[in-house]
Chain A
Amino acid sequence: MASQHVSHDDLKYVPLGDQTLVVQFENKISIEINRGVQAFANLISSRKISGIVQTIITFNSLAICYDPVRISFNKLADTIRGLEDQISEDHAIPSKTIHVPVVFGGEYSPDLEEVSARTGLSPEQVIQTLYSKPYYVYMVGFVDGTPYCGDIDERLVLPRRSNPRVKVRKGAVSIATNQTSIYTIESPGGWHLLGWTPMEIFNPYQERPCALVSGDYLQYVPISAGESERWDDQRQREWDREWNS
């Protein structure tokens, strides 16, 4: 398959303080642009440039943390700029699809009625629309592995709640703007809550703390309330064998 060229006409190289360089891509959220960020991150990693500590992918920019004693901002910017021409889709890591069990309705979907009223869809339609397709994981950020996934059906697009909740339960499945996410720890939050997953999306004690990483796809799979209440490590292992291996 011919490698697809990734546009990089407008890449900007700017300092974020004295230990991070940010490569800014086109100023919009799109899977194509994010794949370009992914590809550039992997290309840079493959070159083992001395002084780079880590790369962080966000929607439309790539942050590169580095040790300024080993490489200066200007030297790093020049080195990376020299790689621009080689960015291609080939460098993007093949994505995997992670299936996440979700219980919908009743106490698990505190904002379902409101979302239904505001979108003009029935509660069943809202839920079916949400789990009808996989979502691209643009980035994992904010706190503790929070995935930012999209794009959701445009009929479900709503701004964040004007009145954020003080406390949102860990595992809450939520939407806001054209994105969907899962609360990985109990925290305050302003997204609309449409379901709940018993699957642990973030576990700081595991070697791989996050179930989802940028570039993956997220697919919600409806389960019953009873099944979600009985969820345990063994059930999770079975689930992963069936859906996520």
Chain B
Amino acid sequence: MEFVKVVKPGFFTTVQDLGRLQYQNLGISTSGAMDGLSLRLANLLVGNDEEDAALEATLIGPKLRFVADGVIAITGGDLSPVLNAIPVPMWKSIRVRQDDELSFGNCVTGCRTYISIAGGIEVPPIMGSRSTYFRGHYGGHEGRALKIGDEIPIGNCRFNLYDIEGRRLQPDAIPDYRKERPIRFIPGPQTDAFTQKSFEWFTSTSYDVTNESDRMGYRLQGQQLEHVNGADIISDFITVGSIQVPASGQPIILMADCQTTGGYTKIGVVISVDLPNVAQKKPRDQIRFEAVDVTYAQKLYAKREKMISGLKLLNRMLSG
């Protein structure tokens, strides 16, 4: 497939891969898929490398036309995908034919869906990544969200389409986005900056995701947290998942497009395996936080990476 035609762009659809991980020392936002796990799974299903670029749609999906035969997969939040007016399954690689149209309906679970295409999206990499950094107007497709009439270039698929269509994930490999699951975090680095009472509030009450929530960060609203000695620190490094608490006492979870340094106290950082669940939260959803230690978080991470390694192995075996 040479390209995919954008018939309707959806609410906010961008090209994303796993981001610019090597440039944070130059103040470059990582960007990349908000729900990195879904992007990786979408890619592996269609025989791509896990770090290839795909589309990330938000709340309202796009309408896309395929100009040739190909294989796609849809993962992440359920935005009711439909191929030529017939509902299609998620978490499975699907054959598409020339002039087929993929569109979306209601947002059923989560809010971000990933559409991978065998061959991957072949926009030019900027600083090692094809991810769109909307704020800086670079990366992805012309540094912006998709528009009507865009033609998104697709790379060559190295497999026979018959070999990769109809692949599905084991049920336990499919992420569980249930809303009632707590979001786990590792306390710190500025745990001492908060009163003991505040730390208890943070882990015993729930916080609402406000409308001021996007790829840069989620502003939360709930029990106001108290600082011992003010909210300002000497600016230091912040990473995706960092939970900043400015003077307002209301937490902000920093997400994929966040800045690389910040001058507010951080009460904790969301653990890697729970970041996809945060990425699938939308305004008015609630978040309950649960503290875990770094050793436990790294055990969970290793387990998840092992599952993904298994899938990568399948692709390698297929490519002989």
Contacts and interface: CB of A to CB of B under 8 A. Distances in A.
A74 B23 CA distance: 25
A18 B268 CA distance: 11
Given A54-B22, A204-B126, A210-B26, A17 B272 contact: yes
A17 B269 contact: yes
Contact of B271 (A18, A140, A209): A18
A213 B26 contact: yes
Interface size class of A (residues with CB under 8 A): 35 or more
Contact of A204 (B24, B138, B189, B305): B138
Contacts of A17: 186, 239, 241-242, 269-272, 297
B63 to A, nearest CB: 30
A139 B272 CA distance: 26
A15 to B, nearest CB: 4
A141 B259 contact: yes
Nearest to B135: A143
A164 B241 CA distance: 26
A144 B139 CA distance: 13
A168 interface: no
Contacts of B88: none
A8 B73 CA distance: 52
Interface in B1-60: 21-29
Nearest to A143: B259
Contact of A141 (B242, B261, B269): B261
Interface in B232-262: 234-239, 241-242, 259-262
Contact of A56 (B138, B237, B262): B237
B259 A18 contact: no
Contact of B234 (A14, A20, A29): A29
Interface in A22-64: 22, 24, 27-29, 53-61, 63
Contacts of A148: 235
B141 to A, nearest CB: 15
A216 B270 CA distance: 34
A54 B24 contact: yes
Contact of A140 (B25, B262, B302): B25
Given A54-B21, A58-B261, A142 B27 contact: yes
A218 to B, nearest CB: 15
Contacts of A142: 27, 235, 259-262
Interface of B: 21-29, 126-127, 135-139, 186, 188-189, 234-239, 241-242, 259-262, 266, 269-272, 294-295, 297-298, 301-302, 305
Interface of A: 14-20, 22, 24, 27-29, 53-61, 63, 65, 68-69, 72-74, 139-146, 148, 185, 187, 204-205, 209-210, 213-214
